[in-house]
């Protein structure tokens, strides 16, 4: 039995993961002492299209861990959303 096909599968899998890294970026929300939880949750629902439950989970994670991923998408999407979040006084960054 030949194992020639297995390395090809692994190479293809790595290529797909590299493509994902090119096309998908993350917006990181940082904890701050300025914004109230309700404002952060409202922004996450309105700007990042999160449900109330998701917004609450992200806000709590940012509060407890210092940061949380609040959006994943293309660079253009992330730039647009990060700009809107920044206008709402939230501290965010984009990560590849």
Percent above pLDDT 70 for the chain: 76
16 or 41: whose pLDDT is higher? 41
36 by Cβ neighbours in 10 Å (0-12 / 13-18 / 19+) ranks as exposed
10 or 83: whose pLDDT is higher? 83
Round to whole Å and give the CA distance between 64 and 7.
42
Residues comprising the chain, all counted:
96
Round to whole Å and give the CA distance between 88 and 24.
24
pTM comes to 0.77
38 or 6: whose pLDDT is higher? 38
Output DSSP code: residue 33.
S
pLDDT band at 55 (very low <50, low <70, confident <90, very high): very high
Q: Taking 50 as the threshold, does the pLDDT of residue 8 lie above it?
A: no
- Tokens 């993350």 identify what position? 26
Domain 24-95 CATH (choose: 1.10.10.10, 3.30.1390.10, 3.20.20.70, 3.40.190.10): 3.30.1390.10
Q: Taking 80 as the threshold, does the pLDDT of residue 20 lie above it?
A: no
**What are the extents of the domains in the chain?**
24-95
Convert the pLDDT of each residue in 75-93 to its tens digit.
999 999 999 999 999 999 9
């Amino acid at each position: 039995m030949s194992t020639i096909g297995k390395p090809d599968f692994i190479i293809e899998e790595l290529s797909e993961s590299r493509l994902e890294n090119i096309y998908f970026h993350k917006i990181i929300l940082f904890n701050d002492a300025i914004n109230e939880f309700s404002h952060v949750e409202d922004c996450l629902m309105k700007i990042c299209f999160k449900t109330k439950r998701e917004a609450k989970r992200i806000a709590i994670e940012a509060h407890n861990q210092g940061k949380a991923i609040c959006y994943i998408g293309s660079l253009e999407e992330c730039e647009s959303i990060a700009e809107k979040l920044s206008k709402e006084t939230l501290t965010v960054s984009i990560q590849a």
